[in-house]
Structure 1
Amino acid sequence: MNLNVKGAYSFTIPITTMFLNTKLKIKGHNIITRVGEAFFLYRCIDNDLCSPINYIVIGNGTLPPKRTDRKLSNERLRKKCSSTVEIDNKRIILSCNVTVDEISDATEIGVISLNSKNEDLLISHDVYNKIDQTVFSGISGEINIEYIYQFTTSFQKNAWSIIDETNNIFYSYEENTVIRVFENNSGYRSVSSLEELKNHDGAFYQDLTDKILYIKPIGDLNNSDIIVQV
């Protein structure tokens, strides 16, 4: 079984004008640094080595993020964040609010923990295009920043039963939401119905109500390694 973690963030901007009352959401994805990978691993075995995630940090640097980064290019704001764990969705959600003045010139974002010496550990990092200043003209409150660490697990699945010999379709019970399916390192395409699955070799469909995963293999299922990512 493999365990992966990905990071994503969003800015939710409340906008109110004479004709409009809405929220604009701007999204991005970041890299997990090498320090961040070590953080997630060591937190499992050593509670004293580093503290939990503490801050969402904002800067105005423009250098492309790298896995070796240990700090933002030019940090200008550090916000204490709240955190929530969603067990069913396998994710951690961090959140904080900022004002227009705090975020208007920002171009980079990251997440910080502190080690036992009170030194910064940069968990993840990204650089994004500066938000258009016209967006801020109608803002009606603080901007919410949400930072998500999404965990996924991959495992080999062997318990398949035939449901449609004519179309070579197999099924298996799977209670988790399936993200990807691989056969001998070749990725399957996701389709939206069992009927559509009949037309595509190397595809999968999951019935989320009945918790059944259906696949149409590329080759002989007996000679294939089917890896499911949830």
Structure 2
Amino acid sequence: MEQMLIEEGTRFLELKDKRDAQWARIAESAEWFKYTLGGDYDRRFYAIYLIETYHYVKHNPKHQALVATRMDEMPVHYMKFCYEHAEEETGHELMAFHDLLNLGVSIEAKDLPAPLASTQILISYLYNISETGNPLRRLGYSFWAEDSYQYIQSVLGMLTKTLSLTNKHTSFLVSHSTIDQKHSQEIEEMLNKFCQTDEDWESIGEVLEITLRLQSDMMNQVVDEYDKLINGAPSRYSFLNTYLA
């Protein structure tokens, strides 16, 4: 039993190292990370980010609940966690939407432009891993998503400074992080309690890396879309010029 606990602890630390390494690669080479730290943008850049965030976050409780429907393939307590976590995630996208409204953008959620291609890819992938394969592997997404605040503090600080943002503009990024602290602890418990095989840990690590990369791809496309706006090119986000240019 003691040896088993040691092995589980080691695998969890390896997962943390994998997450840290992926974030380090993003900080070193991702266009969006460097761009945000550069501070050469206006509130339209942040508005595009909020809209894309609204799009993918509103699906989180849906594909989390899908995992729980696979009852023959999972422990009861993990199924219960999935349902409870889905309920707690419901409506979190509204934080991003309210931040957008507080920037001065007057729009109804139903009138937001469709998500960018990279955002749709992230959403589709999360549905796929929730419905197929190892049901534990969705924890790889939650593992980094619920504990990302520590990795983005530098870019959040630059955003806040450059765009003169206050708490009413950053409820998703700041207030949401307080909620995520509890979720992060729960996810750690699920990992250590239910991951028993090498395949469990490897599939979770794979999803961690893929979803974090896909989210980074989304952010890179946010940069591209903002560049279209400032250069006068056609963009689904041209309506933001009315409010924020």
TM over 0.5: no
Q: What interval of TM-score do these two structures reach, taking the shorter chain for normalisation?
A: under 0.3
TM-score (norm 2): 0.21
Greater RCO (Cα-Cα under 8 Å, separation 6 or more): 2
Higher alpha-carbon Rg = 1
More helix by share: 2
TM-score (norm 1): 0.22
More strand by share: 1
